[in-house]
């Protein structure tokens, strides 16, 4: 594998793409440390170490921004608005007929959907930056447990407007950088930027565990467990159920077509990391409700119950609801991303059939049966992986951004595998040995 890396850098075309990708990723990380105009960098650095655990929504957004969110940098929003916009557009393809038509038009329709995603990303960036600046005017909401009173140099209208404009422009710049990596780099630009953000927080998260516990044996044990979890996640992410498909021979003019055998690959984790993002976002709502009632002389009983059961990640009620939401969103997302009826119709149109299964409706029923069984395993797998940071919170008092588990581990492994495959395919074009043997 190391030899293959060396050959990748000795290939002029691939070396140019790799160096360009590394350069853009470096600029992305550099922008994550440049403070937004109007923010007191010294005050922010004093508040962060004294703060307690942030709520789930801010913790998730800070994870995707590589820690830039709680530093109030120009890239504070990170790639989160683009992720949200992409998910919304993908869901709307099922609801809005116009979007569904564009999705079926191929490359032209996909280009229009991408343009809609860009517009929605900018709109969400304005909304999220305005909300975040509102939080920044009250530092206790961003840094719970700290005694910070002011982190903004000035909270006037002009300063707030400049902050919102700067963060929105930062999101647009990140989106452009991701597209540059896709076009001129090794591909998967947005995914690689997310990978960079999460990987940048690994060393600090691991060292925080060492400082909190003060023991080297716990630190080494966490690393060994992390390596074992990575191996398991790589294995599951590569697992597929391959349904064989046979195409009948047919004459088109004077030529014979068909007669080949292929398969439909159904991944165990068909929904990827999206169910965990949805579940974490919904479970952040109770924390926002509790913050709304903070400081009031009388707090309703139901708010006290929410604060006791649904705000702390180590509570059994929180874990149970978290798992149920992940299972629900896994089935929901798989149902809208893979349509067995469309697959069966396309197979029938081109003369394909599953051996032993009649074409048409029986094929769709068979695909639904297999997909539901695989989705059960995939949902349980996502639930177990997502619970790892919460269990770590109980055992070693780690925070919700525990590096080996949940969203971070799935994204790191998934993007890493996809990038290796991209580089391998480019190496094979130059008749070199790839990464995977």
Q: Is 78 left (phi over 0), alpha (psi -120 to 50) or beta?
A: left
3-state secondary structure of 243: strand
Q: Is the CB of residue 276 less than 8 Å from the CB of residue 63?
A: no
Q: Is the CB of residue 51 less than 8 Å from the CB of residue 145?
A: yes
Instruction: Give CA separation, 96 vs 73, 102, 105, 271, 332, in Å.
Output: 37, 10, 15, 21, 17
Instruction: Give CA separation, 26 vs 19, 20, 64, 143, 346, in Å.
Output: 10, 10, 16, 28, 44
How do the pLDDT tens digits run along the chain, 437 residues long?
556 566 777 777 888 888 899 999 999 988 888 888 888 877 777 776 544 455 556 666 677 676 677 778 888 888 888 888 888 888 888 788 888 888 878 788 888 988 999 999 999 999 988 888 887 777 776 776 666 777 787 778 888 899 899 999 999 999 999 889 988 888 788 888 888 888 887 777 777 777 766 677 777 877 887 888 888 888 888 888 888 888 877 666 667 666 678 888 888 888 888 888 788 778 777 777 777 776 677 777 877 787 777 776 677 888 888 889 889 989 988 888 888 888 888 888 877 888 888 888 888 999 999 999 999 999 999 888 888 777 766 666 555 556 666 677 888 888 888 888 888 777 777 654 544 55
The token duo for 189 is: 């630009």
Which of 273, 284, 318 is CA-nearest to residue 56? 284
Taking the CA atoms of 396, 400, 405 and 408 in sequence, report the sign of the dihedral they define: negative
The pLDDT assigned to 430 comes to 66
Which of 9, 35, 6, 249 is CA-nearest to residue 162? 35
The token duo for 335 is: 């149902």
Q: Is 171 exposed, middle or buried (0-12, 13-18, 19+ CB in 10 A)?
A: buried
Residue position matching structure tokens 């038009």: 105
pTM for the whole structure: 0.78
Fold (CATH) for 1-201: Preprotein translocase SecY subunit (1.10.3370)
The pLDDT assigned to 250 comes to 66
DSSP 56-68: HHHHHHHHHTTT-
Phi, psi of 126 (to 5 degrees): -65, -45
DSSP H helical ranges for 294-401: 301-309, 316-337, 340-349, 361-395
Q: Is the CB of residue 39 less than 8 Å from the CB of residue 72?
A: yes
Calpha distance 336→339 (Å, rounded): 7
**Is residue 41 within a helix (H) or strand (E), and if so which, with residue range?**
helix 41-50
DSSP 375-420: HHHHHHHHHHHHHHHHHHHHHS---TT-SSSHHHHHHHHHHHHHHH
CB proximity list for 394: less than 8 A, separation 6 or greater: 314
Domain limits, the chain: 1-201
């Amino acid at each position: 594998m190391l030899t293959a890396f060396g050959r990748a850098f000795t290939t002029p075309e691939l070396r140019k793409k790799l160096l360009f990708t590394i350069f853009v990723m470096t600029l992305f990380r550099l922008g994550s440390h440049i403070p937004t105009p109007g923010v007191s960098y010294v005050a922010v650095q004093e508040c962060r170490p004294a703060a307690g655990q942030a709520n789930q929504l801010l913790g998730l957004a800070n994870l995707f921004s590589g820690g830039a969110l709680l530093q109030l940098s120009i890239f504070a929003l990170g790639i989160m608005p683009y992720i949200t916009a992409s998910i919304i557009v993908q869901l709307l393809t099922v609801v809005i007929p116009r979007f569904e038509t564009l999705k079926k038009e191929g490359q032209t329709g996909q280009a229009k959907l991408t343009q809609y995603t860009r517009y929605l990303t900018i709109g969400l960036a304005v909304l999220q930056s305005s909300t975040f600046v509102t939080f920044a005017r009250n530092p206790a909401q961003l840094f719970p447990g700290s005694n910070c009173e002011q982190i903004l140099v000035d909270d006037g209208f002009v300063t707030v407007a400049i902050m919102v404009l700067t963060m929105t422009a930062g999101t647009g710049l990140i989106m452009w950088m991701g597209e540059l990596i896709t076009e001129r780099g090794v591909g998967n630009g947005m995914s690689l930027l997310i990978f960079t953000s999460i990987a940048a927080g690994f060393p600090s998260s691991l060292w925080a565990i060492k400082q909190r516990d003060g023991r080297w044996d716990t630190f080494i044990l966490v690393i060994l467990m992390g390596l074992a979890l990575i191996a398991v996640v790589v294995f599951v992410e590569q697992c597929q159920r391959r349904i064989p498909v046979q195409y009948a021979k047919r004459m088109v003019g004077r030529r014979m077509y068909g007669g080949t055998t292929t398969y439909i690959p159904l991944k165990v984790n068909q929904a990827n990391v999206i169910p965990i993002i949805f579940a974490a976002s919904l479970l952040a709502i109770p924390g926002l409700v509790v913050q709304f009632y903070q400081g009031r002389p009388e707090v309703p009983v139901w708010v006290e119950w929410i604060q006791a059961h649904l705000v702390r990640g180590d509570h059994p009620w929180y874990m149970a609801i978290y798992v149920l939401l992940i299972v629900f969103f896994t089935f929901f997302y798989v149902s809208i991303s893979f349509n067995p009826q469309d697959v069966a119709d396309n197979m029938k149109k081109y003369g394909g059939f599953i051996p032993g299964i009649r074409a048409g409706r029986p094929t769709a029923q068979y695909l639904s049966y297999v997909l539901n069984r695989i989705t059960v395993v995939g949902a349980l797998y996502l639930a177990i992986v997502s619970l790892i940071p919460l269990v770590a919170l109980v055992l070693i008092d780690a925070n919700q951004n525990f590096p080996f588990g949940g969203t971070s581990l799935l994204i790191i492994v998934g993007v890493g595998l996809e990038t290796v495959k991209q580089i391998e395919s480019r190496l094979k074009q130059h008749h070199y040995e790839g990464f995977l043997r």
